[in-house]
Amino acid sequence: MSISHENELLLKTVREFMDAEIYPHEEEVDRLGDVPEALGRQIEQRSIEAGLFAANLPERVGGGGLNKTAMALLEREYGKTSHALHSWIARPTEILLACRDEQIDKYLLPCVNGAKRELFALTEPGAGSDVMGMKSNAQRQGDSWILNGSKHFISGPCLPDFAIVFASTGSDDTPRGPRKRVTAFLVDVGLDGFSIQEGSRCVSYRGYKTFELSFDNVRLGPNQILGEEGKGLELSGKWLGMGRIWVGASCVGKAERLADMATDWAANRKQFGQPIGKFQATGFKLADMAIGIRTGDLMLMDAVDRAEKNQLTDADAAMVKVYCSEMLNRVADDTVQIFGGMGLMEELPVQRLWRDSRLERIWDGTSEIQRHIITRSLLRPHGA
């Protein structure tokens, strides 16, 4: 993969930043299961100073204006460490670019300059993969909307200032029967009837928080709709594909870090008088890791190229997510195996990266759901 001079400089900046601000804190954060607020704010502030904050958003709104190739390289580096830490270097959800009029000053710009944090709230206790099973709903009352329902597994580095909440606002008749209209709302923390609390603790990315949100007759003004009423899923769908590419990039980065550890261990750990890497059973694992990482990188860069040309399909993004997350899980498991008992000991980071890897096959749409998307794209042209 050839990298432009400009992107080489970007990578140098990111790696220096991570060496100074992120890696030294990995172990402590995993042990505490928390990122102390002062540490999070320090990463946030220093990433603003380093020009890494909101690097994904266009320069016209004050963002870093990086193109998708540069963002893929960035996410690949961030993927080597914990979400709990690198998510403090915000990449605000690009859905916020749909903000208009006063929403721009109230929501978009504060997320770009670090004054506010948002959450993306789609999943519900009864509606995970089955998004259309959502029960959250908003009823029109005059000019306002009254929001009821709940969300869970809504994640971020810290308590947010507002959430982008997806709720049903009615239903449309379609040839295949009634279909929910889903609308995205900007909902401020602190509004009457909106409660938010930390949810269950996840063993992947310890210290990255999940929140439970509940809405009890929350009154929202007409300006709280993001985009158009009834077009929430179209809006989120525009960005979900790239989200899956960023997961892929992050997985390739983490796989590379694990493979480096496995190779170093296999070259230095001796049993039966020779390095264990010389036993074919171990050496071939390293070879398979290298093949997987190379393949993941190529798929990633191909998808980014398609996205730059506005040609990325849902199936393209799904393939990257499935392949890279499953490749990472094979690499992580094989790394534990190559380390033997030491692979599971808390003194070494292998067990942490192995735990962290597991989530990647689940969030942003499980592997099974990605395979559905790919299958559908294969069968549809045949009328099935």
Ligand X SMILES: Cc1cc2nc3c(=O)[nH]c(=O)nc-3n(C[C@H](O)[C@H](O)[C@H](O)COP(=O)(O)OP(=O)(O)OC[C@H]3O[C@@H](n4cnc5c(N)ncnc54)[C@H](O)[C@@H]3O)c2cc1C
Neighbours of 104 (CB within 10 A): 14
Q: Which run of H or of E encompasses 173?
A: strand 162-174
**Do 351 and 114 form a contact (C-beta atoms < 8 A)?**
no
Q: Tell me how far, at minimum, the Cβ of 128 lies from ligand X, in Å.
A: 2
Q: Tell me how far, at minimum, the Cβ of 366 lies from ligand X, in Å.
A: 3
Of 8 and 130, nearer to ligand X (C-beta) is 130
Q: Tell me how far, at minimum, the Cβ of 234 lies from ligand X, in Å.
A: 16
Of 78 and 153, nearer to ligand X (C-beta) is 153
Of 266 and 359, nearer to ligand X (C-beta) is 359
Of 297 and 356, nearer to ligand X (C-beta) is 356
Of 82 and 263, nearer to ligand X (C-beta) is 82
Strands, E assignment, 63-161: 118-121, 137-141, 144-156
CA distance 88 to 199: 19
Of 241 and 365, nearer to ligand X (C-beta) is 365
Q: Tell me how far, at minimum, the Cβ of 231 lies from ligand X, in Å.
A: 18
Of 132 and 298, nearer to ligand X (C-beta) is 132
Q: Which residues bind ligand X (CB under 6 A)?
A: 120-123, 128-129, 153-155, 202, 210, 359, 362-366, 368-369, 372
Q: Given the structure tokens 């998004």, which residue do they identify?
A: 131
CA distance 143 to 245: 39
**Residue nearest ligand X (C-beta atom):** 128
Among 123, 107, 103, 104, residue whose Cα is nearest residue 115: 107
Q: Tell me how far, at minimum, the Cβ of 267 lies from ligand X, in Å.
A: 35
Q: Tell me how far, at minimum, the Cβ of 170 lies from ligand X, in Å.
A: 21
In sequence order, the 6+-apart residues with CB closer than 8 A to the CB of 105 are none
CA distance 238 to 228: 14
Residue 147 per-residue DSSP state: E
**Do 371 and 322 form a contact (C-beta atoms < 8 A)?**
yes
* Phi, psi angles (nearest 5°) of residue 179: -130, 130
Q: Tell me how far, at minimum, the Cβ of 298 lies from ligand X, in Å.
A: 26
Q: Tell me how far, at minimum, the Cβ of 350 lies from ligand X, in Å.
A: 21
Angle of the 68-78 helix axis to the 232-268 helix axis, nearest 10 = 50
Among 4, 31, 73, residue whose Cα is nearest residue 248: 73
CA distance 154 to 167: 14
Of 98 and 359, nearer to ligand X (C-beta) is 359
Of 195 and 268, nearer to ligand X (C-beta) is 195
**Do 143 and 221 form a contact (C-beta atoms < 8 A)?**
yes
Q: Tell me how far, at minimum, the Cβ of 294 lies from ligand X, in Å.
A: 28
Q: Which run of H or of E encompasses 40?
A: helix 37-49
Q: Given the structure tokens 């690097």, which residue do they identify?
A: 55
Neighbours of 233 (CB within 10 A): 18
